[in-house]
Amino acid sequence: MSVDESGTTLADDQPRSHARRPPPPSLSVGRRIVRTIGEILITLGAVLLLFSVYQLFWTNVSADLATQQVTDQIRNDWEIGPHPSASGAATTAPATFNPGQGFALLHIPRLGAGWVRPIVQGVTLDDLKKGVGHYPQTAAPGAIGNFAVAGHRATNGQPFASLDLLRPGDPVVVETADTWFVYTVDQTRIVAPTHVSVLLPVPDQPGVKPTKAIITLTTCNPRWASYQRMIVTGTLVETRPKSQGPPAALGSGG
């Protein structure tokens, strides 16, 4: 305790108006650099975290919304009337749909009860955000030749996230306006991204005329990378008019 000139008692730790605080010590150049780098790293970490949330979560949310919209659009179009190119006539000509147009539905029971995704024309990034994309130069559903499609395995809806679960003999069903096309899986293999001959009318056999209808499903491998491609191929085993109800491969639900 202390007493001022007026006799007022003050606590020892009470600041006096005339006392001056010493200036804070200045940081050395090295410490300033370290602090700046730390702030930059924290900012970069926050940006990367936000980007990861966007990639892993939001792209799936937005893709799921787009997928549902395209599915609804396809079913609405079918109620109006079938598209002439969706009838699956036995031809080797590529399907003729408008870019980005949804024209069929893909069912893969192995990937879950009721698993279904829309098939749209084209394999651009925008197309693949809507569902499964059809390679425009390949055959129509059910047609003689190679009906080839692609889908994301991670992010953007990731329709083919579990494509590696498919086994030989598993059904893959393509639904068009008036027909069910049932394929059975023959094999799964891993190839390089440059191995585009898997999209030929007869895969890996340039110039050979096709004699049967097949399906090719393509996606990235491993799931979170893109330095390989997973290729699943199957052969058409049943063509069923929709007036007869869903194929046995889908059970009674369709």
DSSP letter string over 151-188? --SSSTT-TTTTGGG--TT-EEEEE-SSEEEEEEEEEE
Distance CA 89, CA 43 (A): 58
Range 56-250 classified under CATH 2.40.260.10: yes
Domain locations along the chain: 56-250
Query: Which two three-digit tokens encode residue 99?
Result: 């870019």
Phi, psi for 37 (deg, rounded to 5): -60, -40
Distance CA 105, CA 53 (A): 29
Distance CA 19, CA 126 (A): 69
Q: Report the run of H or E that residue 75 belongs to, with start and end.
A: helix 59-80
pLDDT attached to residue 39: 67
Chunked mean pLDDT (size 10), the chain, 254 residues = 43 49 65 72 60 51 80 91 49 68 96 94 94 96 97 89 96 96 98 97 97 97 90 98 95 62
| Catalytic positions, written as ranges | 152, 220, 229
Q: How many residues does the chain have?
A: 254
Query: Which two three-digit tokens encode residue 32?
Result: 């300033």
pLDDT attached to residue 33: 76
pLDDT attached to residue 2: 46
Distance CA 217, CA 161 (A): 12
Query: Which two three-digit tokens encode residue 172?
Result: 């893959």
Please give the single-letter amino acid code of residue 254.
G
pLDDT attached to residue 10: 35
Of residues 98, 100, 162, 95, the one with CA closest to residue 125: 100
Query: Which two three-digit tokens encode residue 250?
Result: 């889908």
